[in-house]
Chains A and B, each alone.
Chain A
Amino acid sequence: MANLQFDLVSPERRLAQVQATEVRIPGADGDLTAMANHAPTITTLRPGVLTVVHGGGSDTYVVSGGFAEITATGVSVLAERALPQAEVTQEVFDAMVEEAKAVHRKAQDNFKNEPGPVDDAAKLLSDMVAIGGHIGLTAKT
């Protein structure tokens, strides 16, 4: 089976660089799976769980937004912030949800009559909370 080169980089470090068979990406318009010979695509990410399947099993990462560049031979994910799932403890997750909540509150205060930014922030928050469901953590209400 054909492999593709998977790179996961955040501004501060390179998190992963492996030969993968399949990468599941939380795209802004919905999840997508990239395999070898995928049509070249650039998509933005929503906060979510990214899964890489490679010869030795699969790795999961929590990403908080960014974008992905998919070509026939490789996938590069440029995440604003990315953490291996193992590093996302309850505290880290709570902090992330809290951050999203703060953004939401701020949007509500700043844009009282414009639904656009508030909806975006609400989406961000619900995406953030949904991550918890995927990795077995619950957000504090």
Chain B
Amino acid sequence: MPSLKDLKNRIESVKSTRKITKAMQMVAAAKLRRAQDAAEASRPYTERFNAVMAGLAASVGGSDTAPKLLSGTGSDQVQLLIVMTAERGLCGGFNGNIAKLAKTHAQKLLAEGKTVKIVTVGKKGRDAMKRDFGSLFVGHVDLTDVKRVSYADAQGIAKDVLGRFDAEEFDVATIFFARFENVVTQHPTAQQIIPAKFEQVEDADATLYDYEPGEEEILADLLPRGVATAIFSALLENAASEQGARMSAMDNATRNAGEMIDKLTIEFNRSRQAVITNELIEIISGAEAL
């Protein structure tokens, strides 16, 4: 049975843990709001962009001269997985879930005899994937110093990926990230970005546009941007998901710490009472013996 002193120390330590988790939860809540705003602000661009691209892709997609970024290299032998996770832990299952999805995907591809290459964005995903797939790593993007994801960061990653594509290092690229639904739910998602896939709009009376310059030139100009845009929106979704996951994880931790404090306090009071009773018994039995 722990002594009174020990119990007191434990209670103090759990109390300070609760303070820390509470503070982290509040910080995450503030950051979440900002991340959500950023994700919201980027939505009009992404939506318009995809709408235009879908139209273009539909009209050019079938031709033989379509850019490789759209039609693919004609093979799917070499697969590039871009695993995007957070730089920091303490956010529940957020990093683990993304890594798990990427791992299952990689195992499936390897079982099919495909070549897999992995680029990691964010330290935590790298650590999680290292043991099983360390030999497949071809690159890593560190965003530790980035406080707020900007389009330039996404462009940097896109440039790296497109450079590899031009050098014919891979045929298909897929990004892994967590789509933000709400504070308690984030869905780990795999999205293929090269060759680009667009939801086909089944619109019979779609407007017929004039293209300036030609359709194919515009498409060639826009596809690399599409990669950057997809990565950017994934980064934003990830940022919001991370904060959401951290917020609920820290909320749970705070609640657990509270329960633990209650339990320990009861135990402390009981043992204190036991000590007092013991002392009384000793005094009384001492007095009786006289």
Binding site for B on A (CB under 8 A): 7, 9-14, 27-29, 39-44, 66-67, 69, 71, 76, 78, 80-81
Contact = CB atoms under 8 A, between A and B. Distances in A.
Interface stretch (B24-32, B43-51, B118-126): B43-51
B137 interface: no
Contacts of A29: 212-213
A11 B151 contact: yes
A42 B209 contact: yes
Contacts of B44: 7, 9, 14
A7 B43 CA distance: 13
A81 B225 CA distance: 12
Given A67-B52, A78-B45, A11 B229 contact: yes
Contacts of B287: none
Chain B contact surface mostly: helix
A43 B221 CA distance: 11
B232 interface: yes
A28 B213 contact: yes
B45 A10 contact: yes
13 contacts: A11-B229, A14-B45, A28-B212, A29-B213, A40-B207, A40-B208, A42-B212, A43-B213, A44-B212, A44-B213, A66-B225, A67-B222, A80-B151
A14 B37 CA distance: 12
B232 A42 contact: no
A41 to B, nearest CB: 4
Interface of B: 38, 41-42, 44-46, 48-49, 52, 56, 150-151, 154, 207-213, 217-218, 221-222, 225, 228-229, 232
A10 B154 CA distance: 13
Given A10-B151, A12-B38, A12-B151, A43 B52 contact: no
Chain A contact surface mostly: strand
A45 B44 CA distance: 18
A46 to B, nearest CB: 11
A41 B211 contact: yes
Contacts of A39: 210
A43 B45 contact: no
Nearest to B150: A12
Contacts of B41: 12-14
A99 to B, nearest CB: 11
A67 to B, nearest CB: 7
Given A42-B56, A43-B212, A81-B151, 17 more contacts: A9-B45, A10-B45, A11-B46, A12-B42, A12-B150, A13-B42, A39-B210, A40-B208, A42-B210, A42-B218, A44-B218, A44-B221, A44-B222, A66-B225, A67-B52, A78-B49, A78-B52
A43 B222 CA distance: 11
Contacts of A40: 207-210
